[in-house]
Amino acid sequence: MIVALIDSGLGMLPTSAWLRRLRPDLDLLLCLDPEGAPWGPKPRDWVITRVVEAAERAVGLGAEVVVLPCNTASVTALEHVRERLGPGVPVVGTVPAIKPAAAASRSVAIWATAATTASDYQADLIARFGNGATVVGVPCHGLADAIDLGDPARVSAAIADAVARTPADCDAVVLGCTHYPLVETEIVATLPAGVRLFDSAEAVAAQTLRRIDALGRTGAGTGAVSVLLSGIPGELPASALDYEAGRLLGAAHRT
């Protein structure tokens, strides 16, 4: 069973690592797009085309399930991918963990990219799942880019800026970009004590496994990890190995 995960950069790593931990027999096809990254600032139609083409390419290589562990790809292209691939190929998207955070706290901050923070998409999620809590968006300028580059100084500066923008009474932070769990330890160390973090990577991995089981197909896989870089077979970027999730996947890729 091959599961393809599609993102422009390293935001796919947390969900991919959860799949590796939960079902190490699955074959993972990691589809990054260094030539097109980042997707967030790109025109909507461009992103749709890029993501749909990546999904079609993955299915052509044998993927039976496609995951979009990327908020931009999920918001922009999820339904287009589902339409193109048809009902026989499950396609799993990503939604920030606003609902569980708002159920656990009365004051929630959503850390996300500037574009996502200003989007109607995030406003709609807050309206639907805010559960009466005070929910504020905090734009994390440059954090995703710094994570992709593996630049510790820029990561630290971006986290410090986000903490400064987070309301003092907030006791829950939603990591609304799939890159951010890669630096969770530093985020926890920088936030005030007692602030809880919520992210969707484990939930997306669990939903993927449910969709796999629903297929009812025999045969799992060999546990192989393969990488495509803008459609060309390659290696995980060196910066991926700066993070635990990247090292886990990188070790599997080399075996």
Going through the chain in order, the beta strands assigned E by DSSP cover: 2-6, 27-32, 63-67, 91-92, 107-112, 134-139, 172-175, 196-198, 225-229, 232-233
d(CA 140, CA 14): 18
Helices (H), ranges, 166-217: 184-190, 201-215
**Cis peptide leading into 38, omega within 30 of 0?**
yes
Based on its alpha-carbon atoms, the radius of gyration of the chain, rounded to whole angstroms, reads 17
Place of tokens 């709609």: 124
Positions annotated as catalytic residues are 70, 177
